[in-house]
Amino acid sequence: MINATDLEGNWTRVNDAATWRDSLLIGKVDAAQFFTDSKTTAADCQKLLDVLYSDALLGKPSGASAVAGFSGGSDGARMLYQVAGYDRGQLDSSLAWLKTLPVKCDQFTVTGKDGSTRTAQVIETSLPKAGDSRQGLRLTLQGPAGGNPATLMLDLAAVRVGTNAIAVTNGGLGGTEADSTQQAVTLGTQRLKDVLAGKTPAEQPPGQQESS
């Protein structure tokens, strides 16, 4: 696992991360807005919102799991860092699905329970060359919150190491902390590899790594 001291910025570890839920993620994606494969595409975009709300970006773990939450950063962001063991087939399917979202869900709208409309965008982001495979995304969701305009921005990162994986969700209404996401991926992946190899986890990342 990582600690607040591993991350740049004013991060503090919290104990209530399991209760974090953002109401802007609650809503229905209408298939009518998509031109091709409308039902399938809408289902994929809906699934993205649902797994983010339930903190299950890579699905339900089949092995041991651990979660750490951090708040603060320079813009009041929140970070959820998860590491767990998965069924290999499920893990590969989840990563393959994430890779399709910048195309399938590049732009879409969401209707909230109160009838309000939110606009969403998904783009691909680069991650350090860590683990066996990886995928980075950024979700931007704009709409009313508490009667006022709001923009929720989340950076998502998933890294596979064998049949284990790290998932990072980082951001909030004040924006994302991209540098902290990169640090969490780099250091977290190295520590996971050390643990799996029976070694003492490294305290610092092994040098600057390139992004992909």
- Is 56 contained in some domain? yes
Query: Is 79 part of a structural domain of the chain?
Result: yes
Alpha carbon distance 141, 41 (integer Å):
17
| Dihedral Cα 23, 9, 68, 209, nearest 10 deg | 110
Residue 134 structure tokens: 């990886």
102 within some domain: yes
Average pLDDT over residues 113-137: 95
Give the global pTM: 0.90
Provide mean pLDDT across the span 136-154: 92
Please report, for the domain that includes residue 41, its CATH number: 3.40.1000
According to the model, what pLDDT value does residue 200 have?
A: 78
Give the tens place of pLDDT for each residue, 162-179.
Answer: 999 999 999 998 888 888
- The separation between CA 124 and the C-alpha centre of its own chain, rounded to angstroms, equals 12
- Residue length, the chain? 212
Q: How many domains does the chain have?
A: 1
**What residues make up the domain containing 154?**
12-196
Q: What is the pLDDT of residue 109?
A: 96
Q: What is the pLDDT of residue 202?
A: 60
The reply to whether 209 falls in a domain is: no
Residue 210 has pLDDT above 60, yes or no: no
Do residues 123 and 137 touch, judged by C-beta distance below 8 A?
yes
Residue matched to tokens 């996401």: 181
Query: Each residue of 16-75: pLDDT tens digit?
Result: 776 777 888 999 999 999 988 899 999 999 999 999 999 999 999 999 999 999 988 656
Closest by CA position to 188, among listed 172, 205, 176, 175: 205
**DSSP code per residue over 128-186:** BS-SSEEEEEEEEEEEEETTEEEEEEEEEEEEEETTEEEEEEEEETT---HHHHHHHHH
